[in-house]
Structure 1
């Protein structure tokens, strides 16, 4: 069905006469009368639910008359349920009470699978990060790359920079979204997408791990969906946050500061939330006090974010919502990089670190700018009261300017420019088949127009403009067999059209050694790819002590077309290997809940006939994609335990390994570090000795992955570099609620002042500029004013 048919349906649906619906407003308080912040409030046996704001307020809309059970749950609280009677057209105001308890029981509703559902009904590994968890991590850093690396099993360790190059999910690429809108520049992946908005505007993060057929291009390793803030249930509220940060080893030039103001409110049928954020970071130093390399760095950086969301409820079942977000982060520093190097001598193999030195940077300031605009219409209870309809129309723009480099003749800077236009109509139909068999059918179509290029700032064209149209219908069926079994299966048909103009490749020297490739003329044209992908999974839910699942899912991803085109050796794009990557993901896992204990374990294998790893062709001095069969496998573990109502602890573990077929043989070799990360272990202990004071200790361990051998010179070739040095990082933070309207927090990061090379610095060491030490001991302090 063409896209305008859905638009007509949207317009006609607004004219439909509806029965009066109701809403529930209220507040959750604990046994001491304190507000229950960030708790789940929902009507059981429905898809209606929300999360309380910091004041404990909540609002549930679009409720038909009837008798319901309203439930409240959250980590550290005894689940509360209450029967209520809702009259047609009524606004019911409630005060709900919840008691603290030694329990980890928590029911979460996730929307990353396109339709809300209970977390324990999903046949796959999902990590959800609540607003409270995010705020605890924000007290330590504003770098989302580091926050996710600490909290999400399956995600590779942070690079310590603003780039997520090498920060893969289960050894493959990850699709980053904001409110479901794709942010990743998949046609020319600059790998700056994880850090593409101010984390202060994030309400929740939902991470689906493994290939997923329900989403489109780029989700071969999974998705990260940032769900932005929503309006509170109050008429008006606000919060001002002030931050300060700096090195504790040597404070000179390291001091930074930031401010963030959020306003939220509701009047009549209109609700809104807005946020303005600003941050200016200082210089970062390693454990010895030396300045880190500025390349891809997040120091000497000025960041701005403007966010606004407003909604209008035509009726209790019809809503129109507009969201806008603008993020701008640019580095303006007086430091230039001094390259590091690999050293092989009588003492063995070692790395000499790169560092920053005072100097003048040619060109313009590097940085990223992203714009998101989303218009969403939703209409519930259509077609006999069993179908919900929603439609997003969106615009997304990315402008990434990279650092000045001598990889080009005469030097230069590149920019990735990308514009996306899209529409996503979605229907969800409930299927009350029988008393024991219930389910829903989710179906729709994704339309995307993506225009991406990578020119240099002086006008030279490095990657020609790539124009893509994508039309992808999909459907997914979910069946609940009583309360014991969930079966889910879906299909998605990808249809991608590409148009590329004629172009000339630029002379390029990846090692910046003056050895440039020759320019080549390439004839453009059009290409078309299509594929039907499939997923199926089941989950047993009869016993919460052992809740197993089994799933198979496929994903469709185009390779990094821009990287392939800019290094082309063929005379026509028809002769360049631009075929998509089809990934098969097999997964087996379980969760276990027993009072104050929760355990989640997942094992996976994902395969593809074409790979996406990067190799350096030494003979021709250019990067190439490894278009060979790949097999990646691993395991993830997450455990939480609440000792008392005031003491809890948790841990995660990730192990991934990958093999790729050697060209023209039947042999396999290990995949490089740009895709396969070393083992990662994280843990935390949270203590709340008083109602006002909360203490948090977090720990990160990154192990070794010694899979490769050195060459005849005793050093490693690119793509065949071992991670030989493990490292341990410990952070400590404390927060204190001085008054209901005033809170302070402080964090010391790398409290042991560990001297280490991050994993990326080790596996990318043949490119000397990236041999960067990790940041030494540093601190961040924050003050919150609530009004």
Structure 2
């Protein structure tokens, strides 16, 4: 028996030795002899690889004996292939030096970004095709997925705090850029450069985004209808031609539970078919009373590259959300600190159910090395099912019509509606020379439409009860109080919906019997509009000088009384030029200047002659000068911009009437600075600062107000930095620190009311063990009471108090 055991052990020892594997280690540097941080090392025959760390060091374990092709690559450098032989039980140590390459840029964003830092080198948003950001004669702020992940944020409203001149306006998908407001329902936000909508009320999860970027200033010459402040572009994660998988789980303040997954790689051996799928689930409460969010996001993406001349991409984003709609904090009249920031006016039986899908298909085909064609189509579907108790935007009144400072007049909405958006973009891109000049010519056609179909409708309960029948008055008139139902104890008019008592919020937030209210009906739709745009744009290059010339013709149609017998088409049009110049002073410093025009058409309902219409579109223009530079061997980008934006044709209601007059004019001018990248391989930074002077220079009476535009701070800034310890007993530990500050702002609907400036401090710790990452984020460390925006003291939007989030991630 002992003999058998001995033979078994000996045989096992030889078997193990026979299966011994080896390790390949080494380092990768670039042409500057700097570490090629996060470069990729891949073994073709084993279909697996690894990424170098911040110092360019890599390690491939458990490599069986054999002869292999080792592929070394990094974005912006020539890919290298090396044949290596791995012998049994022996390890290899190899060093590689990559050479910078000038590669042809994509015209459709099909293959995903491989960079793993706070820096992004190129964008599609500024020129309808990929362009180096340093060559774009317009300011762009951005946040990469690495910065987003390090800060532990999941909403665009939190991400834009990293951008100069950009800030939140409310809790919603509602942003201020250079003093001008855009929101998720305006159909001027972009997804992969295509017009879409997010639904406005709730900000979707951002786990499927590669980056968020803002093109500053009017973008109508590229996209048609657009805000003069700029456009936000959400860039989705695209498939990669290498295997990358990650999952993470988070928990934290307000009973937050979050689970995320990201899988990508080739589906075929020749890498002609690539896939990526992002999944996100969130179940979280809120620091605000009764508020919660339950979200599920599924975002698959497939790229098909049948040849080196043809690329096709398909994206789907499906998001379902269950929550309550939070209309903000109300305070005692003129007393900003009189109620807790947690107080919300919702009732326990309120709900907001939203469902969104976005389908994108993109095709790019190269006829020759100098001529290509691109076509993209995006379809957005959105549905809303809402019940909400909310303030009626005023205080309750007593029998004399005087405000009751501790009670809010209430109203109730029950609403269902749907929205469908289609956007088609087609263009040719031609590269050619005329003498000493190089041209990159883009000419194309865009079509966009939005439809609210039949069935969208709302029941609304508000106002005060009639004394004689089951009807209501929308407002209270003390001169005719005998017409109103009066409270026998107080003599005050009886509201249709009970007032919210700021002194007893618990009672006011209980389940309400909505059958007791008297409702009025309102239609939402059917509505329809479309726009056609044709454009031509040429980037002309000569030595160190680049000139960007563009011209777009936009034809906008809105259907008044859509699908009814008296349907009428309302047309508006615009011719929109764009001129930009970039000059390279040195290899790492570019100066630029630009002039662009923008427009926003008036809604068809504003064309009613009874309201003073028809009206001209809003018209805007911008002049901007600046500089862009790279530092630390190309690892850090900096942009400095000085601009002036003017907009005219703003509508104002005439005193005491519903009649509108197109007499308004406003202006925004300022200075912005953005920094993104790495100082050292293990030290990353993102920082921004802006000074904005945004004011109405001509109001309804033709007077200059001198008042800063609502929710626009004159000064704001951001800093976020991460440092990874690479040596010593604290090796693999990372430390993050950040701060945001804004100065005092006036509110939307009451320029006499302001919200104070604030400075918020945030921090993070990171620890990596093999493929596991442990991350702890602590936000608003000093627990600073602050407000991110507001309309007035009845609708304030407080910032989140001190909170924490613990995340465990695994990459494989």
Bin of the TM-score, shorter chain as denominator length: 0.7 to 0.9
**308, 312, 319: which one pairs with 2:311?**
319
Q: Distance in 2 between matches of 1:324 and 1:173?
A: 24
- 1:305 counterpart residue number: 297
**551, 554, 575: which one pairs with 2:594?**
551
Q: 1:95 to 1:122 in 2, by over 3 A?
A: farther
Alignment of 1:202-351 (within 5 A): 202-212=209-219, 213-234=221-242, 236-246=243-253, 254-268=254-268, 269-284=272-287, 292=288, 299-332=291-324, 339-343=330-334
**1:609, distance to aligned residue in structure 2 (A):** 1.8
Asked if the contact 2:331/2:337 (under 8 Å) is kept, the reply is no
1:693 aligns with 2:733: yes
Asked if the contact 2:122/2:131 (under 8 Å) is kept, the reply is yes
Q: Distance in 2 between matches of 1:211 and 1:270?
A: 37
Secondary structure of the residue that 2:142 maps to in structure 1?
Answer: strand
**1:404, distance to aligned residue in structure 2 (A):** 3.7
Q: 1:783 to 1:336 in 2, by over 3 A?
A: same
**1:502, distance to aligned residue in structure 2 (A):** 7.4
* Structure with higher RCO (Cα < 8 A, 6+ apart): 1
Asked if the contact 2:178/2:692 (under 8 Å) is kept, the reply is no
1:490 aligns with 2:550: yes
Q: Distance in 2 between matches of 1:359 and 1:404?
A: 5
Secondary structure of the residue that 2:160 maps to in structure 1?
Answer: helix
**1:97, distance to aligned residue in structure 2 (A):** 5.0
1:452 aligns with 2:512: no
**701, 716, 719: which one pairs with 1:680?**
716
**1:452, distance to aligned residue in structure 2 (A):** 3.2
TM-score (normalised: structure 1): 0.72
Q: 1:525 to 1:647 in 2, by over 3 A?
A: same
Q: Distance in 2 between matches of 1:95 and 1:463?
A: 65
Q: 1:452 to 1:97 in 2, by over 3 A?
A: farther
Secondary structure of the residue that 2:413 maps to in structure 1?
Answer: coil
**1:777, distance to aligned residue in structure 2 (A):** 0.8
Q: Distance in 2 between matches of 1:644 and 1:577?
A: 58
**1:645, distance to aligned residue in structure 2 (A):** 4.1
Question: How far does the alpha carbon of each residue in 1:309-337 deviate from its partner, in whole angstroms, 9 at most, with x for none?
Answer: 1122232211222211111222159x997
Asked if the contact 2:713/2:742 (under 8 Å) is kept, the reply is no
Asked if the contact 2:666/2:698 (under 8 Å) is kept, the reply is no
**1:37, distance to aligned residue in structure 2 (A):** 7.1
- 1:11 counterpart residue number: none
CA RMSD of aligned residues (A): 4.1
Q: 1:394 to 1:143 in 2, by over 3 A?
A: closer
**1:649, distance to aligned residue in structure 2 (A):** 4.3
- 1:481 counterpart residue number: 542
Asked if the contact 1:28/1:97 (under 8 Å) is kept, the reply is no
**717, 729, 736: which one pairs with 2:767?**
736
Asked if the contact 1:341/1:771 (under 8 Å) is kept, the reply is no
**1:339, distance to aligned residue in structure 2 (A):** 3.1
- 2:196 counterpart residue number: 183
Asked if the contact 1:607/1:631 (under 8 Å) is kept, the reply is yes
TM-score (normalised: structure 2): 0.70
Q: 1:625 to 1:446 in 2, by over 3 A?
A: farther
Asked if the contact 1:658/1:670 (under 8 Å) is kept, the reply is no
Asked if the contact 1:586/1:604 (under 8 Å) is kept, the reply is yes
**770, 776, 790: which one pairs with 1:746?**
776
**387, 397, 422: which one pairs with 2:381?**
397
Question: How far does the alpha carbon of each residue in 1:376-401 deviate from its partner, in whole angstroms, 9 at most, with x for none?
Answer: 22111x1x531111111221112345
1:145 aligns with 2:157: yes
Secondary structure of the residue that 1:220 maps to in structure 2?
Answer: coil
Secondary structure of the residue that 1:464 maps to in structure 2?
Answer: coil
Secondary structure of the residue that 1:133 maps to in structure 2?
Answer: helix
- 2:627 counterpart residue number: 590
Alignment of 1:110-149 (within 5 A): 110-113=123-126, 114-137=128-151, 139=152, 141-149=153-161
Question: How far does the alpha carbon of each residue in 1:677-732 deviate from its partner, in whole angstroms, 9 at most, with x for none?
Answer: 442111123211226222110100111246xxxxxxxxx99242443511110110
Asked if the contact 1:126/1:208 (under 8 Å) is kept, the reply is yes
Asked if the contact 1:355/1:772 (under 8 Å) is kept, the reply is no
Q: 1:82 to 1:281 in 2, by over 3 A?
A: closer
Alignment of 1:499-538 (within 5 A): 499-501=559-561, 525-538=568-581
- 2:182 counterpart residue number: 173
Q: Distance in 2 between matches of 1:703 and 1:115?
A: 37
Secondary structure of the residue that 1:136 maps to in structure 2?
Answer: helix
- 1:541 counterpart residue number: 584
Q: Distance in 2 between matches of 1:552 and 1:280?
A: 46
